[in-house]
């Protein structure tokens, strides 16, 4: 297997990107292709002992920055590491592309058949799935690729999410739910209310509507929402977790007694950090494209990059793209 990784993706590139790629090459024992400015990447690579590893460098003279506007960058930077990396997948010189750069940009480029990969036939909108690093690690889709959705889009997110979970986690007939502001009939906004009959008729294992509490509690394997709501949930969860963690640390520093308590209780906090650690998940799959694409957070460290690559490896191994190609035919998605 050959996995291409954007060496110019992260906020601190190329350090975490290259470090994570080296770790992944060692863990997976597969070929990793670093895509980026050849001189910069090779200089960074020299820091590591890569003698036993299969690591290649693919030159890309340009890079997408976080301030670039997705609709513009598609055409204005044809030699960016994203363009070149996705091109490797399109030309079957790589099995997957991983980036922790600008999500909107990689989605915009990947959507186009000639420049990137194009959508799977029948898929209206690729979507960003995400395993929540919380509780039973439930899967939420969409987390921000589509700010405006129609019911048939949500249904496809449900289908793609169900197939992803089925292949990746080996769960047969995963429980699929819609995220809503209540479980009772009549709850939900118009989008949810109009989506319910589509889910009921879909052949998916649709288990109804759930609220965020039930989502966190793992009462569904796949939770479906529009990309705006999903993004707000994700960012609210991050903000609240950060607030609590900061407040608790400040409170602990109040006096010698609580400082000592904090020191003794440190393993409990370490355990919590592990439980909430997005680095162990590393990245989020962009589902619905003609190829495996994993995106990660711009603030990713080497561990997160490594795990994003490992996730790409698992998607290829489990033939998730092929499953979605079959799935959109199997499920009736005509609106």
**Which chain residues interact with its own copies by CB under 8 A?**
69, 134-135, 144, 147-148, 179, 181, 186-190, 211-213, 215-217, 225-229, 231-233, 235-244, 247-248, 251-252, 254-255, 257-258, 260-269, 271-272, 275-276
- 54 or 181: whose CB is closer to its own copies? 181
d(CA 173, CA 204): 7
* Least distance in angstroms from the C-beta of 176 to its own copies: 18
Question: Distances in Å between the alpha carbon of 327 and those of 196, 202, 279, 293?
Answer: 19, 11, 30, 18
User: What is the C-alpha to C-alpha distance for residues 68 and 57, in angstroms, rounded to an integer?
Assistant: 24
- Between CA 175 and CA 79 the distance in angstroms is 42
- H or E segment at 98? strand 96-99
Nearer to its own copies, 186 or 335 (CB): 186
State the Cα angle at 84 between 282 and 57, rounded to 5°. Answer: 75
How far is the CA of 15 from the CAs of 171, 270, 306, in angstroms? Answer: 37, 25, 12
Cβ 180 vs Cβ 212: under 8 Å: no
- Crossing angle for the helix pair 320-330 and 302-317, to the nearest 10 degrees: 50
Closer by beta carbon to its own copies, 135 or else 197 = 135
Q: How far apart are CA 14 and CA 32, in angstroms?
A: 15
User: In whole angstroms, how close is the CB of 198 to its own copies at the nearest point?
Assistant: 18
Closest contact distance (angstroms) between CB of 136 and its own copies is: 11
State the angle between helix axes of 15-28 and 302-317 in degrees (0 to 180), rounded to the nearest 10. 50
What token pair was written down for 276? 């909430």
Strand pairing category for 55-59 and 139-141:
unpaired
| CB of 43 or CB of 244, closer to its own copies | 244
Nearer to its own copies, 102 or 313 (CB): 102
Q: Tell me how far, at minimum, the Cβ of 235 lies from its own copies, in Å.
A: 4
Question: How far apart are CB 273 and its own copies at their closest, in Å?
Answer: 10
Give 187 or 330: the residue with its C-beta nearer to its own copies.
187
Nearer to its own copies, 76 or 251 (CB): 251
- 147 vs 201, which CB is nearer to its own copies? 147
Least separation in angstroms between CB 76 and its own copies: 16
> Please, what is the minimum distance in Å from the beta carbon of residue 244 to its own copies?
6
Give the nearest distance from C-beta 247 to its own copies in angstroms.
6
Q: Between residues 43 and 247, which has the closer beta carbon with respect to its own copies? A: 247
Task: Give the contacts of 295 (CB within 8 A, at least 6 positions apart).
Answer: 98, 99, 100, 101, 103, 106, 107, 128, 283, 284, 286, 308
Please state the closest distance from residue 276 (CB atom) to its own copies, in A. Answer: 7
Neighbours of 43 (CB within 10 A): 12
């Amino acid at each position: 297997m050959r996995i291409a990784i954007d060496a110019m993706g992260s906020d601190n590139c190329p350090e975490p990107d290259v470090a994570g790629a080296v770790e992944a090459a060692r863990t997976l024992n597969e070929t990793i292709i670093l895509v980026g400015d050849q001189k910069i990447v090779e200089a960074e690579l020299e820091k590591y002992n890569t003698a036993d590893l299969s690591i290649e460098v693919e030159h890309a003279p340009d890079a997408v920055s976080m301030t670039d506007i997705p609709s513009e960058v598609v055409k204005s930077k044809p030699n960016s590491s994203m363009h070149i990396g996705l091109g490797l997948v399109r030309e079957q010189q790589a099995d997957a592309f991983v980036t922790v750069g600008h999500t909107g940009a990689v989605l915009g480029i990947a959507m186009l058949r000639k420049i990137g990969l194009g959508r799977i036939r029948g898929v209206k909108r690729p979507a960003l799935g995400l395993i929540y690093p919380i509780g039973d690690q439930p899967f939420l889709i969409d987390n921000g690729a589509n700010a405006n959705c129609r019911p048939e889009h949500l249904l496809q997110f449900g289908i793609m999410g169900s197939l992803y979970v089925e292949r990746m986690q080996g769960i047969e007939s995963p429980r699929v739910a819609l995220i809503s502001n209540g479980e009772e009939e009549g709850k939900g906004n118009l989008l949810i209310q109009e989506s319910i009959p589509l889910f009921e008729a879909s052949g998916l294992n649709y288990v109804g509507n759930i609220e965020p509490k039930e989502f966190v509690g793992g009462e569904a394997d796949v939770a479906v929402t529009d990309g705006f709501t999903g993004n707000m949930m994700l960012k609210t969860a991050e903000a609240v977790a950060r607030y609590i963690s900061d407040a608790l640390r400040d409170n602990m520093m109040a006096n010698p007694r609580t400082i000592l308590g904090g020191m003794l209780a440190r393993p409990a906090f370490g355990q919590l950090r592990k439980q909430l650690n997005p680095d162990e998940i590393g990245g989020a799959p962009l589902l619905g494209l003609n190829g495996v694409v994993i995106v990660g957070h711009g603030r990713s460290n080497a561990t997160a990059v490594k795990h994003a690559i490992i996730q790409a490896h698992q998607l290829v191994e489990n033939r998730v793209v092929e499953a979605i190609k079959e799935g959109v035919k199997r499920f009736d998605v005509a609106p």
